[in-house]
Amino acid sequence: MIEWLRADSPSKPAKPAVPPQIELLGRAIPIHITRHPRARRLTMRLAPDGGAVRVTMPRWSRQAEAIRFAQDRRAWLEAQAAKVPTREDPVARGHILWRGRTLAIDWRADAPRRPVLTGDTLALGGPAETVSKRLARWLESEAERLMAHDVAFYCERAGIAAPPLRLSRAQRRWGSCSSSGTVRINWRLVQAPDAVRRSVVAHEVAHLVHFDHSPAFHALLADLYEGDQREADVWLKTEGRSLYADFG
């Protein structure tokens, strides 16, 4: 087959699809729609930072149904959006969260650049304009240190080898476990109380043995985790959004 294209009519690249939007509290928020092969009904959630409405629908549903589903539940979404914490500059505020504790920031230009924790004070120096980035890096390094220990601890309890750990920046999941065995934990959990962070790690380690939410999975999780799983889940549901208030 011979194709002919006029020289004076060059083909134009397709414009990227623009996601549908919904107005919440005076802001236009994108609606991100995902078709899931195992979904049997429409489900919806607001991203922890309030930046997107996420709708999951069965493969056979139409996009228009997902948009209408979100529009019909605008009041619920606005109530959720009202709970999203206002972004703050932790340096201007003077403190950060770490393991459920409030650490005062003690910045002095002539102090060492690397943060040093003493009691409930985190001291550091260096250029003022990079303090926030260095605090975020310190929290991420603490997250990796603590979570690696958590993974090793629960894997030993489960009688399995510790898998690779990756820090996650996910906006909707606290943890995940891939079929290849890699565990991903949201770095922001380093700001939560230890029991909450460890509950998420224990959950993902249990998935290394049972890649489902079967009774066997829940029985193993109960054996692995030393705390109150329900209490940790309630904390994440009620306080989890607050962990997104700092560091963008």
* Between 245 and 122, the higher pLDDT residue: 122
* Between 19 and 24, the higher pLDDT residue: 24
pLDDT at 12: 53
pLDDT at 7: 41
**Do residues 109 and 124 make contact, with C-beta atoms less than 8 angstroms apart?**
no
43 lies in the same domain as 64: yes
30 lies in the same domain as 137: no
48 lies in the same domain as 105: no
Place of tokens 């230009």: 109
214: confidence class by pLDDT, cuts 50, 70, 90: very high
Domain count, the chain: 2
pTM over 0.75: no
pLDDT at 9: 45
pLDDT of residue 238 exceeding 90, the answer is no
Question: What is the average pLDDT across 13-35?
Answer: 81
29 lies in the same domain as 109: no
Tell me whether residue 222 is in a domain: yes
pLDDT of residue 5 exceeding 60, the answer is no
Which sign does the torsion angle of CA 169, 172, 174, 178 carry? negative
157 lies in the same domain as 40: no
Question: What is the average pLDDT across 48-75?
Answer: 89
Tell me whether residue 187 is in a domain: yes
Specify the range with the lowest mean pLDDT, choosing from 166-170, 171-175, 209-213, 227-231: 171-175
32 lies in the same domain as 116: no
Tell me whether residue 1 is in a domain: no
Residue 124 sits in which domain range?
90-244
111 lies in the same domain as 217: yes
pLDDT of residue 194 exceeding 50, the answer is yes
156 lies in the same domain as 205: yes
Question: What is the average pLDDT across 41-70?
Answer: 88
124 lies in the same domain as 226: yes
